[in-house]
Each structure stands twice: as C-alpha cells, then as structure tokens.
C-alpha cells in the first residue's frame, strides 16, 4: 500500500496506542490541532484527551513529565515541535533521561520516546531550520534515530517503544510528504545502517533528509560512469561502523553528506571512523558535503545555496576521481 511518511508515522502511533494501554502522547498542539505537521491528526478523537495530551509551551516541563511517567511504568511518546525547541529540554534529556540507568546502578530505566521535527528547506528561517542530530548522537545513554524512508517511519517507533532506554527520533520536515509503498506490519531494527543503493566505486554515506538528495546524486554519477553505493545510517547512536567500513573498503572512496554544519558535525565523526579504521583501503581522502557555516537564510534561493544539494554531492564525488572513470 502506498502512503506518505506522515501517514506511516500516524499509523505507527495509532498501532502503539491501540496495542499497549501504557502508551500515551504529550506535546504542543498534538491534540485538537492535530500536530504542526499533521502527524497526530485524528488521534485525539480515537484515544481521548487522557492519552493524547496537549501541553503548555514548556519543553522542559513536559519532557520532564514524560521522564517521570516512564520511570513510573508508562510508555510515553513526547513530541517536540521543532528541534530548536528541544534545546529548552536539554537538561531533562541529557542530564536526567540519559543518565538514570547509569546513576541508579541499573535499577531504573527510562523507556521514553522523543519525536523531533528537524532540518531546513521549508523557508522557516534561522530559528526553525536547525539540524542538531550530532549533538544528541554525542550523548551516551540514549539512542538516536533518523528514519529517512516511509518504511522506517512506520517501523522504527515500535522498536523504539520496546527499548528500555530513551530514544530520540529525528523526523526531517522535508520527508513528511514523501510517498512510497509500505505494508501495515513492518519490522525494523534500530541498530543497523542500510545499503539503499549498491555500488562498487564510491561510498555515499548519509541519513535523514539528505538521503533523497544523495540518491539523486548517485543516479547522476551513474550517467558519468561512477557506480556509487548509498549508505543510509538510520541509527546515529550507536553508529553501525561495520556497514560503513565494509562499503568504504569495497569502494575505496567516500563522501559523507550531512545537513549539520561542517564544524563538529556528525560527518566529521564518520570521516574519523573511516580514517582510523580504513585508511589504507582508501584511494582518495574522504570528502564531506555539509551546510554552509551560516545561519539558515529565509530566502529560498539562499536557503538552497546553503544546504547540501545533489549538485554539490556530485562535485565532491568527482573531485575524488580527478576525471570520471570510463
């Protein structure tokens, strides 16, 4: 059945709520309004205000309440409207949720799922266009997911809810309208990367909203005689190093595509992983395609210029070959 990324998420939420009475949702405008991105539309009518809870505009407060509910045996799903607002709850996520299991000597777990809309490309200007996935991927004690396909949007939530530790799931805003075939029942793990396009000459490594652009770039490279493999990281913490390294050792060249800014980016971590573990397998230095080091502009042409685009990915790839191979 063909459905959108948004519909796949809604279906996953509906299945979780119907299948486990401990599951409930909290967030700003998720009830009567149906969510800023319409992911929770209709769920209030189905499950009622006790389980679809509109919250005050206080991320620090409702994420903390979610942590308390998780400690008390519930399975809360907390929606944070955009990733920049998650900064208001950093203390709860980083200093509390991520650390309870460790600091209690394993006596307590925090089975909390936090859904966050992330990324740029919709002309919502500098304060609502951030990509902070690398910040959260830096923190031990949480899992960080970045579903980039309709199938992963449908399947990752169930696995996240079954995890005893906190899971932060980043949903790129440019993906909500993406459509693809997706069954009702999807089993997806939250530990491994996935090869989205097999290839033999170049590894293109990416995640989230950059995956569609990377697949477009891979098709363009194919017309130039370069057979590119596309790796979708999917899970940003813990990283699936074996899948990344296997691709790089086979292809011998790598480009990492990451919408985060270049300085301190997740792309930098991936490049370090490659250089530390596969340096002698490389035929060229790894390259990165990241957002330009400026606040995200409002104007459409400037926003496009700042973000990773297929053309930039192709150019970075070609630089590793000097001339495209025959």
Tens digit of pLDDT for each residue in 59-69?
999 999 999 99
Would you call 214 helix, strand, or coil by DSSP? Answer: helix
Cα distances (angstroms) measured from residue 216 to each of 210, 256, 290, 292, 322? 10, 15, 16, 20, 21
Q: What is the pLDDT of residues 260-313, one digit of tens each?
A: 999 999 999 999 999 999 999 999 999 999 999 999 999 999 999 999 999 999
pLDDT at 326 over 50: no
141 cis-preceded (ω within 30 degrees of 0): no
The whole-number average pLDDT for the span 157-186 is 93
> What pLDDT, on a 0 to 100 scale, did the predictor assign at position 187?
87
59 belongs to the catalytic site: yes
Task: Pick the more confident residue, 324 or 116.
Answer: 116
pLDDT value at residue 324 = 55
Q: In this model, does residue 94 exceed pLDDT 90? A: yes
Instruction: Report whether 285 contacts 256 (CB < 8 A).
Output: no
Q: Is 133 a catalytic residue?
A: no
Residues of the chain with CATH 3.40.50.920: 194-319
Q: Kindly provide the b/e burial profile for residues 131-158, where b requires at least 16 CB atoms within 10 angstroms of the residue's own CB.
A: bbbbbbbebebbbbbbbbbbbbbbbbbb
Q: Which two tokens stand for residue 210?
A: 């950059």
Among 150, 123, 7, 27, residue whose Cα is nearest residue 81: 27
Residue 323 pLDDT > 80, yes or no? no
Query: How many Å apart are CA 135 and CA 268, to the nearest integer?
Result: 13
Once rounded to an integer, what is the mean pLDDT over residues 155-159? Answer: 94
Q: What is the Cα–Cα distance from 53 to 33, expressed in whole angstroms?
A: 11
CB 82 within 8 A of CB 52: no
pLDDT for residue 1: 80
* Averaged pLDDT score across all residues of the chain: 95
pLDDT at residue 185, rounded to an integer: 81
CATH 3.40.50.970 boundaries in the chain: 2-181
User: How are beta strands 2-4 and 179-181 bridged, if at all?
Assistant: antiparallel
CATH T-level topology, domain 194-319: Rossmann fold (3.40.50)
Question: Does the predicted TM-score (pTM) go above 0.85?
Answer: yes
**Nearest alpha carbon to residue 163 among 194, 185, 141:** 141
CB 206 within 8 A of CB 215: no
For residues 226-248, give the mean pLDDT.
98
- Supply the Cα-derived Rg of the chain in whole angstroms: 20
Number of H helices, E strands in the chain: 12, 14
Is pLDDT at 325 greater than 90 in this prediction?
no
Q: Which of 79, 128, 259, 303 is catalytic?
A: 128
According to DSSP, the β-strands at 202-206 and 254-261 are parallel
So what CATH class is 2-181?
Answer: alpha beta
Exactly one of 7, 28, 59, 229 is catalytic; which is it? 59
Q: What is the DSSP letter of 96?
A: I
Omega within 30 of 0 (cis) for the link into 283: no
Predicted confidence at residue 308, as pLDDT, reads 97
Locate 233 and state its tokens. 């990281």
Partnered with residue 232 across adjacent β-strands are 194, 206
What percentage of the chain carries pLDDT values higher than 70?
Answer: 99
Nearest one of 38, 39, 127, 138 to 82, comparing CA atoms: 127
């Amino acid at each position: 059945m063909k459905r959108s990324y948004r519909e796949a998420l809604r279906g996953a939420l509906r299945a979780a709520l119907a299948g486990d009475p401990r599951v409930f949702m909290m967030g700003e405008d998720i009830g009567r309004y149906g969510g800023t991105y319409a992911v929770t539309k209709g769920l209030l009518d189905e499950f009622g205000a006790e389980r679809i809870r509109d919250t005050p505009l206080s991320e620090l407060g409702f994420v903390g309440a979610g942590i308390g509910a998780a400690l008390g045996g519930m399975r809360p799903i907390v929606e944070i409207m955009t990733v920049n607002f998650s900064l208001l709850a950093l203390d709860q996520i980083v200093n509390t949720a991520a650390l309870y299991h460790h600091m209690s000597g394993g006596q307590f777990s925090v089975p909390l799922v936090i859904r966050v809309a992330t990324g740029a490309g919709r002309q919502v200007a500098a304060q609502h266009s951030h990509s902070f996935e690398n910040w959260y991927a830096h923190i031990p004690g949480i899992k960080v997911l970045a579903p980039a396909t309709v199938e992963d949007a449908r399947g990752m939530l169930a696995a996240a809810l079954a995890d005893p530790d906190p899971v932060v799931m980043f949903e790129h805003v440019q993906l909500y309208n993406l459509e693809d075939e997706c069954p009702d029942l999807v089993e997806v793990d939250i530990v491994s990367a996935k090869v989205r396009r097999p290839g033999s000459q170049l590894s293109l490594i990416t995640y989230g909203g950059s995956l569609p652009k990377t697949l477009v770039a891979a098709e363009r490279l194919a017309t130039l005689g370069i057979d590119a493999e596309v790796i979708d990281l999917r899970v940003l913490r813990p990283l699936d190093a074996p899948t990344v390294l296997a691709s790089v050792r086979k292809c011998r060249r790598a480009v990492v595509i990451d919408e985060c800014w270049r300085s301190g980016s997740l792309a930098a971590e991936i490049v370090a992983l490659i250089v530390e573990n596969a340096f002698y397998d490389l035929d060229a230095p790894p390259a990165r395609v990241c957002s330009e080091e400026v606040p995200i502009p409002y104007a459409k042409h400037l926003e496009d210029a700042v973000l990773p685009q297929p053309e930039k990915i192709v150019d970075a790839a070609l630089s590793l070959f000097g001339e495209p191979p025959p």
